[in-house]
Structure 1
Amino acid sequence: MKRSVISSLFLFAGVFLFVGCAEKEDLFGKQKSTFVSFLEKTHQPRLIPVEDLEPGSREGVYATLGDAVYRYIDVENYYDPDRENKPLVTEDSWVTLTYRAYLFNNTLIRGLPDGGLNENNFASVTPPFYTNDPAFEPYFRMAGLTPGAWDFAPLSVDMRNAGIIKGLRLALVGCREGDRVEAYMTYNMAYGDKTYLYFIPKESPVAVFFSVDKVE
């Protein structure tokens, strides 16, 4: 079957240069501290570092990848006894994803309500700046998007492609087919220190929620 790579924000991530100055280091450290505080105190469920997990516990955990990407794999996936038998994402894999990308502002990110979207709960949804999740089509339609203007096709990612943003690459490696994942990344793991496509401010921390639909 021919694989198609969907043009998206993930695959247009440019190469950014960073100035090694105290101001950048302070911002980098602040964003990391904010993520850790959010995951351990605000996130639902509250999470602990994976290295602090005690034997036999089924608590929600987050892993620190590199030193600036924080990954949470849904507990139902993480503790699935059959998980180790499912295809693993490696640096050479092709991966099909359904995803939502958000600008992170240290608050809970709320997806679509379980009962469906309507005018009464529309405002409770956290709007992603980009998604290919077809469940969000009614949201964008209610927000005034012209039908057909948004591409909800699956995203096929070649892990060998240098255009994938670094934070997403780090978050993907080690996941398994069927995983539902949240990845939180500092600005230098995402779109860098320049305004990107006019609507992603420079130095923005980013959260990407995705499901690993298929691994080849």
Structure 2
Amino acid sequence: MNMTRYKLTGLLAALLLLAGCSQEEETLPNQRNSIVSFLTSTHAPQLISDEAVAESPDENPPFYTAKGNTVYRYISNYYDSGRASRAEVKSGSRVSITFRAYVFSMRNITDSDMPFFTNDPDLEQALYEAGLTPGVWKFEPMELTLGQSGIIKGLELALLGCRQGDEVECYMTYNMAYGDTNFATIPRESAVAIFFTVNGVD
């Protein structure tokens, strides 16, 4: 009798583990597909992949770059004159950024959307009025060293190759952000969008 109970318990545990793996195997591809669909159809402006730029009839087509097939980056000022001469973010670079982080629901993020985390001083007063406790967040540029600062993997991938002055949108699957960790402000397995400006690169 006890042996049968152990076998049933083991079988149930294996089934639960299999169901968890199956759900993860579905969630990631679904998020990737949804992000690409958003970028190429709903995003303003509509984007093409960086691989399709050479075939585009447009002179300066807006495009996104996929980083590891899980992080998608759009640099809005990519075609600015002089951009190529600005300092580039590389592994080990000391970088200063101003950012806004959002739970991403596969729709355009507007000024009326409030981030779940930010250091943007333009939002400081509005966040205090919405109930943020003063002093909880710092509203000054974030200083970090790529490869040493312990930032989320998706943001690190999105920063690589950016240049000083870049204005960037990055969209990432949940495993590149906070994984399946539960936070009060972030539903489990949420896709995340981070908008950031590269203030400086050393």
When normalised by structure 2's length, the TM-score is 0.85
Structure 2 counterpart of 1:126 = 113
Structure 2 counterpart of 1:23 = 23
Distance change >3 Å, CA 141–CA 39, structure 1 → 2: same
Structure 2 counterpart of 1:185 = 172
Structure 2, unmatched stretches of 5+, are: 1-17
Q: Could you tell me whether the CA contact under 8 Å between 2:98 and 2:196 is conserved in 1?
A: yes
Q: Secondary structure at the match of 2:128?
A: helix
Q: Distance in 1 between matches of 2:197 and 2:100?
A: 9
Cα shift at 1:21: 2.3
Q: Secondary structure at the match of 1:109?
A: coil
* Pairing 1:164–2:151 present: yes
Structure 1 counterpart of 2:188 = 202
Q: Secondary structure at the match of 1:21?
A: helix
After superposing the two structures, state which structure 1 stretch, 168-177 or 46-55, moved more. Answer: 46-55
Distance change >3 Å, CA 146–CA 165, structure 1 → 2: closer
* Pairing 1:211–2:197 present: yes
Q: Secondary structure at the match of 2:126?
A: helix
Cα shift at 1:147: 4.4
Q: Distance in 1 between matches of 2:35 and 2:147?
A: 28
Residue identity opposite 2:187 in structure 1: P
Cα shift at 1:200: 1.7
Q: Secondary structure at the match of 2:200?
A: strand
Residue identity opposite 2:186 in structure 1: I
Q: Distance in 2 between matches of 1:194 and 1:150?
A: 21
Aligned residues: 183
The structure, 1 or 2, with the larger RCO (C-alpha pairs under 8 Å, 6+ apart) is 1
Q: Distance in 2 between matches of 1:150 and 1:162?
A: 18
Structure 1, unmatched stretches of 5+, are: 1-18, 112-124
Q: Distance in 1 between matches of 2:185 and 2:100?
A: 16
Q: Distance in 2 between matches of 1:56 and 1:98?
A: 31
RMSD over equivalenced CA pairs, Å: 1.9
Cα shift at 1:138: 2.4
Identity %: 48
Structure 1 counterpart of 2:7 = none
Deviations 1:111-155, CA, capped at 9 Å, x for gaps: 2xxxxxxxxxxxxx1010001000001211331334444320210
Cα shift at 1:72: 0.3
Q: Could you tell me whether the CA contact under 8 Å between 2:92 and 2:148 is conserved in 1?
A: no
Residue identity opposite 2:63 in structure 1: V
Match of 1:71 among 70, 73, 90: 73
* Pairing 1:59–2:61 present: yes
Q: Secondary structure at the match of 1:35?
A: helix
